[in-house]
Amino acid sequence: MPSELLYAAKHAKGFMPLEEGLALFETACRYGKLGPICEIGTYCGKSAIYLGAAARQTGSVVITVDHHRGSEEIQPGWAHHDPTLVDPRFGKMDSLPTFRSTIAAAGLEDEVIAIVGRSDQVAALWNAPLGMLFIDGGHSDDPVTRDYEGWAPHVVTGGALVFHDVFPDPADGGQAPYRVYRRALESGAFAEAAVAGSLRVLERIGPGI
């Protein structure tokens, strides 16, 4: 990964550990050649830098989808809440300005395309095949399930479905991503290709989602 983009990713606001970010970059380099890369859950753009760097290297593009009002775990009163991201005019979270600044500063505006809206609403309108899908939006059961059901059917055969924050042990973190990751494996449509920390890379091997 180019040093200037690695520096930008390291210093961007977000929750992606370095080891997992580099694994995400390497995965996107492998599968981005097959079609666009789609990220569900943008927040402030940290992981989009890793994906954008891979898109530049492979000649692909990143579509990143988020309503930018924040998932449950970053709302006021929760552990990951950042009060600097609250828009005082509306009293709501708004990570979009920080995201735009992050991607512009990294020089990735040509590689990273933002769609602002709810994942399920955008998925209902989406028709293009995807080389890679990265699910990292809301981490409770309903949003992870909607992200999987709405977007995974668009992953091409040989493409990748990637989950973040997969914790088999409940003591390590929430279980919703783990449950949907297990569902994907049990569907027969995907086989596990790689593991890096809480990152799980599944490769599409057939129909059956």
Tens-place pLDDT, residues 26-65:
999 999 999 999 999 999 999 999 999 999 999 999 999 9
Neighbours of 176 (CB within 10 A): 19
Q: Is 80 a catalytic residue?
A: no
pLDDT of residue 123: 98
E strand map for the chain: 37-40, 62-66, 86-87, 92-93, 112-116, 130-135, 155-163, 190-196, 199-204
Position 78 confidence tier, pLDDT thresholds 50, 70, 90: low
Average pLDDT estimate for 153-168: 97
Domain ranges of the chain: 3-67+97-204
pLDDT score of 202: 98
Query: Tokens at residue 17, please?
Result: 């550990």
Residue at token pair 């599944």: 202
Q: Are 202 and 158 in contact (CB under 8 A)?
A: no
**Where do runs of H (alpha helix) occur along 32-175?**
46-58, 96-106, 119-123, 141-151
- The pairing of strands 155-163 and 199-204 is antiparallel
CA distance linking residue 167 with residue 170, whole number of Å: 7
User: Does 84 score more than 90 pLDDT?
Assistant: no
Could you give the CA distance from residue 35 to residue 55 in angstroms, rounded to a whole number? 10
d(CA 191, CA 204): 7
| pLDDT for 208 beyond 90 | no
CATH fold of the domain at 3-67+97-204: Rossmann fold (3.40.50)
Is pLDDT of 3 > 70? yes
Nearest to 36 by CA among 120, 138, 152, 159: 159
pTM of the predicted structure, to 2 decimals: 0.94
Token reading at 1: 């990964």
Q: What is the mean pLDDT of residues 67-92?
A: 81
Give the C-alpha separation, 199 to 195, whole Å: 6
Exposed, middle or buried by CB within 10 Å (0-12, 13-18, 19+), for 77?
exposed
Give the active site residue among 11, 68, 81, 139: 139
